Amino acid sequence: MSKAENNVLPSGYHPKSFWERNKRSHGYLLRREIRSKAYKLFRFLLLFAICFLILHPILDKLSVSLMEERDLYDSSIKVIPRHVTVENYEIVAEQIYYWKALINTLWISVLVAVLQVAASTLVGYGFARFDFPLKRFWFACVVLVIIVPPQTISTSLYLRFRYFDIFGIIKALNGGEALNLRSSSIPYYLLSMTCMGLKNGLYIYMLRQFFSGVPVSLEEAAYVDGCNTFHTFWKVILPEAVPIIVSCLLFAFVWQWTDTFYSKLFLGGNTLLSMEISPISDRIANYFSTQKGIGLSLGRRNQFVSTATLMLIAPLLLVYLFAQRSFVESISTSGMKM
């Protein structure tokens, strides 16, 4: 009798023992089970290591921010503080005008994110679906916006909005004087609306790649039903693009929340968290020197910097907790489309 015939089970016989089935498969089931368990263990350890690398700095800052000063120099304390206090948060909140800065940052971040994504959606759809002169050249310019650091054009941006004019019209109407828009946030909103804001090139690229993967047959069916280009875009394409739009909105919101370059260049008149936290070490040192007449050690300064950092990212963590499902879905869906 051949080996294959020996492996054929009798009619109506179903072995329940794993080892019996493994014996009949000549050890294949055991080897497959070992490989499966080893892969799951490796994946668990890898994910645990990545999560630890991400969460450890945050947990370390949280622990330090809740310590009293004497706990900082106690070598027996590693993670959990012996004397818990929230005084550090109160001092930092007072010095950075936290609640005022939080409201201003939230308002500006949401507005800028909406303007950027709305403009980028239109431009990305145009690159994906329409042919126009110098199309490849203009898309190369979009890629160039991604590559070139914004610091290289900071002088040009400053001069453009310090002496703002449109084809000489403003000078003609204003007695030969150009407008000075540096004292307002209008320039930054204009940049966001014209796809020249923070990371706008990346959003255009992501949206263009997504729209290129949407079947043209959907639009053709809408045209047959009598829809024009705008209604097709609004009724058919945008509902399909919700996942990638959510991704771009979240990215735009987070990057604007922590931005300092454009904020200092155009939003200097606003009290923003990213700008208030930058000089926090010197502010705290000056506060203790003038109000309490004592100096701060390096460890104490780092403690207040850790506290301020947590207060900056805490709203972002809340946004992620509420938008986690949509964000993960948008990333996976956009990855499939792209």
Token pair 């938008």: residue: 323
Among the residue ranges 5-9, 96-100, 157-161, 305-309, the one predicted with the least confidence is 5-9
- Kindly give, in sequence order, each residue whose CB lies less than 8 Å from that of residue 170, ignoring residues fewer than 6 positions away: 164, 178, 179
More confident residue, 64 or 14: 64
Query: What is the DSSP-derived secondary structure letter of residue 290?
Result: I
Q: Are 100 and 271 in contact (CB under 8 A)?
A: yes
Read off the pLDDT of residues 224-265 as tens digits, 9 standing for 90 and up: 888 888 888 888 888 888 888 888 898 899 999 988 888 888
What tens digit of pLDDT does each residue of 111-146 get? 999 999 999 999 999 998 888 888 889 999 888 888
pLDDT band for 17, please (50, 70, 90 cuts): confident
Ramachandran area for residue 271 (φ above 0: left; ψ -120 to 50: alpha; else beta):
beta
User: How far is the C-alpha of 332 from the C-alpha of 319, rounded, in Å?
Assistant: 19
pLDDT grade, residue 331 (50/70/90)? low
With tokens 């875009």, the residue in question is 233
> Which of the four pLDDT bands, split at 50, 70 and 90, describes residue 10?
low
User: Going by C-beta distance under 8 Å and a sequence separation of 6 or more, which residues neighbour residue 223?
Assistant: 232
pLDDT at 160 over 50: yes
Average pLDDT of span 82-103: 89
Q: What is the DSSP string of 117-156?
A: HHHHHHHHHHHHH---TTHHHHHHHHHHHHHS-GGGGHHH
Burial 73-105 (b: 16+ CB within 10 A, else e): eeeeeeeebeeeeeebbebbbebbebeebbebb
- pLDDT above 70 coverage of the chain, percent: 91
Q: Which domains does the chain have, with CATH numbers?
A: 3-65 (no CATH), 89-334 (1.10.3720.10)
Bridge partner residues of 84 (DSSP) = 67
Q: What is the chain's alpha carbon radius of gyration, rounded to the nearest angstrom?
A: 29
What pLDDT is recorded for position 103? 92
- Phi/psi for 16 (5° steps) reads -100, -20
